[in-house]
């Protein structure tokens, strides 16, 4: 265990010393769990050194030792570590089977919390390398529910940092950056995970258009030993320093022999080569990516390959670009990766212009801009707006009408709770509450608009998702209360309406209505305006609608409580 503490800190000599000490101590001992941990240290070091065959050998040995000595923690952590090696060897089905087996045990509560945490980290790493963000999201929600059920603080340190990567891909940038920063505070001297955290922050800042902050984060990641690619190369491209961008991405590819990890760099190589006018390099990078996607055959790799192929076709003014980019956009949307889907749709709009189909181009560019606005991708908003203005479409990017279902949540009787349990305990309750709700917002594709004290303001594309999220929030809290005796009681209000979407959020009369409906809800209650419910959703009503006067709202509003138990 000491060796496993020192290796991630970058203190390889000290780690090796403890590793050899363990080997000497174990020579005279009968086989037991400690032999499995020793094999795990071997596997972890092999992964750091990119010796994938050795990593597979030692992780397989660990799993077998765990089975022989009857220690499920050792056996299943070995299985999860096997998956890290298997996926880089292209044995994807075996890797995912190992991950799912290990995670099923991890979220059942039958393993030690530390083991479950390590398995979760391995899972997010494997899913991140494959681009399997849907699986990562599903296991994240399952892990969150396990933490609620077992009264475990939801995540800490390295788990939180890996989760930040999943949230970033899923478009939850605010939550992702918060996780990465909190992970830095909790991880101590683990330079590997500190480097990962700063890299994630750099990617988020780059997408938001804050180039100065992105550069600072990428450079810090590099200092900690995490190569700052492809992010730093794309940053140089955004600055117009194409030669520097080319040199950085070529250096990164030259140093990376693992196919799966090269796949993460190749889309940027295509983009930078096209900006430099180097069609040959762009086609070569796209061809390599297509070949890798064919071998691993995951939706994310197929999406990236289709978009890289489409980008080349677009540069060549090939009419087939539209088909490739449409395929890429659809795949990104299916796996829930909104930023990449929007980038693909923006290119698809340009491809329609090559075919002189202006109407389709405007549709795709407008759809892309809406996503960029929602995410807060300022540079992309500006660039897409310029493209639309060139087509005669007015700039509505600063203010735009949007139909959403708004949710307001609030902890009931919070003042009395603080007085009863004290500030320190209350801080822990709020932290648990915030992380539990945020995991469910991501699951139901809600957009966190604001968070004040112990309340959230969230926007959903439709009422069905909003109701599903509200019901699962209440069920999760009730389940925890039943098993462990306490969880905060929430009141939740929902209202569907049109509002004005700005870069800062939403505004309009409907927002005030939603907030006032939330204030009318009682503890453990979901209250919704009757007009927000469709025919199918009205079956969820627990009683007759009630017409009420809401403070600050001129007209009475019909509200109804919703069944969730």
Q: Mind listing the pLDDT tens digit of every residue in the chain (565 residues)?
A: 888 888 877 788 898 899 999 999 999 899 999 999 999 999 988 988 889 999 999 999 999 999 999 999 999 999 999 999 999 888 999 999 999 999 999 988 889 988 988 898 899 889 888 888 778 877 877 776 676 566 555 456 777 888 888 888 888 888 889 889 988 888 877 788 899 999 999 999 999 999 999 999 999 999 998 999 999 999 999 999 999 999 999 999 999 988 989 999 999 999 999 999 999 999 999 999 999 999 988 899 999 999 999 999 999 999 999 999 999 999 998 887 889 999 999 999 999 999 999 999 999 999 899 889 888 898 999 999 999 999 988 665 556 778 899 999 999 988 888 888 777 677 768 877 887 888 788 788 888 888 887 899 999 988 999 999 999 999 999 988 887 777 889 999 999 999 887 766 788 888 999 999 999 999 999 999 999 988 767 778 777 888 988 887 878 889 999 989 8
Contact 224, 201 (CB under 8 A): no
Cα of 538 vs its chain's centroid, Å: 33
Residue 26 CB: number of other CB atoms within 10 A? 15
Closest C-alpha to 374, from 342, 420, 347: 342
Q: What is the pLDDT of residue 376?
A: 87
Calpha distance 313→351 (Å, rounded): 9
Both tokens of residue 240?
A: 């117009």
Calpha distance 152→527 (Å, rounded): 30
Tell how many helices (H) and how many strands (E) occur in the chain. 26, 8
Alpha carbon separation from 302 to 249, 348, 561 (Å, rounded): 21, 16, 45
Residue 532 DSSP class: G
Q: What is the pLDDT of residue 152?
A: 57
Task: Map residue 458 onto helix, strand or coil.
Answer: strand
Helix axes 231-238, 242-254, angle to 10 degrees: 170
| CA angle (507, 509, 515) in 5-degree steps | 85
pTM of the shown model: 0.72
Q: What is the pLDDT of residue 154?
A: 47
Calpha distance 370→498 (Å, rounded): 15
Fold of 1-154: 1.25.40
Domain with CATH 1.25.40.10 in the chain: 1-154
Q: What is the pLDDT of residue 456?
A: 93
Contact 547, 556 (CB under 8 A): yes
Both tokens of residue 389?
A: 């203005």
Alpha carbon separation from 68 to 119, 180, 207, 264 (Å, rounded): 20, 38, 49, 38
Exposure string (b/e) for 147-178, b if CB count within 10 Å is 16 or more? bbbeebebbebbbbbbbbbbbbbbbbbbbbbb
Exposure string (b/e) for 329-344, b if CB count within 10 Å is 16 or more? bbbbbebebbbbbbbb
Architecture of domain 399-561: 2-Layer Sandwich (3.30)
Neighbouring C-alpha atoms within 13 Å toward the C-beta of 168: 27
Calpha distance 319→178 (Å, rounded): 43
Residue 300 CB: number of other CB atoms within 10 A? 25
Domain with CATH 3.30.70.1230 in the chain: 399-561
């Amino acid at each position: 265990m000491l060796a496993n503490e020192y290796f991630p800190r970058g203190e390889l000599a000290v780690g090796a010393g403890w590793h050899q000490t363990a080997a000497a101590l174990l020579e005279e001992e009968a086989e037991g769990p400690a032999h499995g941990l020793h094999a795990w240290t071997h596997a972890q070091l092999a992964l750091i050194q990119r010796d994938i065959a050795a990593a597979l050998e030692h992780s397989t040995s660990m799993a077998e030792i765990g089975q022989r000595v009857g220690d499920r923690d050792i056996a299943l952590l070995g299985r999860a570590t096997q998956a890290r090696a298997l996926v880089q060897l292209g044995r994807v089905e075996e890797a995912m089977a190992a991950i799912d087996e290990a995670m099923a045990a991890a979220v059942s509560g039958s393993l030690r919390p530390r083991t479950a945490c390590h398995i979760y980290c391995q899972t997010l790493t494997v899913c991140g390398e494959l681009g399997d963000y849907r699986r990562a999201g599903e296991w994240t929600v399952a892990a969150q529910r396990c933490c609620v059920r077992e009264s475990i603080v939801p995540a800490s340190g390295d788990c939180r940092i890996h989760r930040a990567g999943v949230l970033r891909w899923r478009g939850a940038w605010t939550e992702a950056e918060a996780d990465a920063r909190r992970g830095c505070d909790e991880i101590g001297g683990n330079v590997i995970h500190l480097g990962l955290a700063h890299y994630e922050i750099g990617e988020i800042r780059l997408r938001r258009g804050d180039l100065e902050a992105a550069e600072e984060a990428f450079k810090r990641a590099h200092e900690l030993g995490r190569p700052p690619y492809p992010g730093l190369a794309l940053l140089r491209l955004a600055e117009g320093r194409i030669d520097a961008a080319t040199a950085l991405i070529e250096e990164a590819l030259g140093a990376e022999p693992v196919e799966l990890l090269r796949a993460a760099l190749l889309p940027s190589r295509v983009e930078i080569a096209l900006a430099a006018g180097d069609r040959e390099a762009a086609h070569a990078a796209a061809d390599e990516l297509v070949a890798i996607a064919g071998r691993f055959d995951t939706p994310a790799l197929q999406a990236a390959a289709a978009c890289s192929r489409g980008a080349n076709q677009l540069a060549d003014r090939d009419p087939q670009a539209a088909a490739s980019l449409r395929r890429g956009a659809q795949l990104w949307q299916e796996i829930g990766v909104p930023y990449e889907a929007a980038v693909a749709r923006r290119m698809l709009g340009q491809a329609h212009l090559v075919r002189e189909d202006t109407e389709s181009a405007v549709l795709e560019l407008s759809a892309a801009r809406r996503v960029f606005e929602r995410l807060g991708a300022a540079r992309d908003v500006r660039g897409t707006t310029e493209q639309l203005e060139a087509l005669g479409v007015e700039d509505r990017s600063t203010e735009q009408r949007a139909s959403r279902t708004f949710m307001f949540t609030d902890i009931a009787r919070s003042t009395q709770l603080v007085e009863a349990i004290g500030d320190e305990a209350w801080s822990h309750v709020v932290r648990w509450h915030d992380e539990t709700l945020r995991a469910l917002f991501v699951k139901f594709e809600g957009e966190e608009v604001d968070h004040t004290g112990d309340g959230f303001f969230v926007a959903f594309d439709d009422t069905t998702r909003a109701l599903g999220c509200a019901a699962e929030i209440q069920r999760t809290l009730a389940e925890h209360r039943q098993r462990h005796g306490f969880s905060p009681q929430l009141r939740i209000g929902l209202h569907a309406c049109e509002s004005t979407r700005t870069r800062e959020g939403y505004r309009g009369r409907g927002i005030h209505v939603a907030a006032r409906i939330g204030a009318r809800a009682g503890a453990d209650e979901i209250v919704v305006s009757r007009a927000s419910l469709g025919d199918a959703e009205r079956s969820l009503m627990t009683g007759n609608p009630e017409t009420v006067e809401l403070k600050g709202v001129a007209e009475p509003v019909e509200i109804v409580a919703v069944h969730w138990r």
